Structure 1
């Protein structure tokens, strides 16, 4: 797993760390039951504060993608598989919309109107 951040980005570093891990989950590079690197390992590798990594892990926990357990660390949860499936369905929807000539903006508006 390769976590990527851009120090010059206006996006908070913890959001970037969480987004990178989320991407790895969606693409299947990490799957249910996989352990994420410790916060200390990530912080050391990226030269950032360990609390920044912990905040990213907590965000992923709040989204239901990661289980945090003392002594076990961060483990990809069972609900992460659903995110992978959903991502595949979204890719299919985007491809179908493109075939029909529906713009990304129109598709996004349709999805937004459909949301509960």
Structure 2
């Protein structure tokens, strides 16, 4: 169900979260469906179980997954891309501010990329 790209520079937990997010968004994993255990996912992906747990916690915080004691982890709803992008944009602007960049500067940088 999930695969990772070993050439991807992102941290492994982000790659795992992205893979699960994609599975849910594409309908491979549907609301109410229970996911395999973190150990099973880790073994299938060839990563540490703590890496998978961190990814699953991130997705829980996004409202994509639900943790239920005794029932494991299940899909709650598809990811809301707009909310994820807003959160990441906020983080980007905070990081840019630490380097002395204004929001207008970041907008110009993004325009250069497109």
Both proteins in one fold, TM over 0.5: yes
Please state how far the C-alpha of 1:7 moved relative to its aligned partner: 2.1
Q: CA contact under 8 A between 1:35 and 1:74: conserved in structure 2?
A: yes
Q: CA contact under 8 A between 1:26 and 1:83: conserved in structure 2?
A: no
Q: Report matched runs for 1:13-92 at 5 Å.
A: 13-77=12-76, 79-80=77-78, 83=80
Deviations 1:23-62 (A, max 9, x none): 1111111111001111000111122100000001001000
In the alignment, structure 1 segments of 5+ residues that lack a partner are 87-108, 110-116
Structure 1 moving runs of 4+ over 6 Å: none
What residue is the counterpart of 1:9 in the other structure? 8
TM-score normalised per structure 1: 0.64
- Taking the aligned partners of 1:56 and 1:8, their CA distance within structure 2 comes to 19
What residue is the counterpart of 1:105 in the other structure? none
- Aligned-residue RMSD, C-alpha: 1.9
- Taking the aligned partners of 1:31 and 1:56, their CA distance within structure 2 comes to 18
46-55 vs 6-15, which moves further: 6-15
In the alignment, structure 2 segments of 5+ residues that lack a partner are 83-106, 108-114
- Taking the aligned partners of 1:8 and 1:40, their CA distance within structure 2 comes to 23
TM-score normalised per structure 2: 0.65
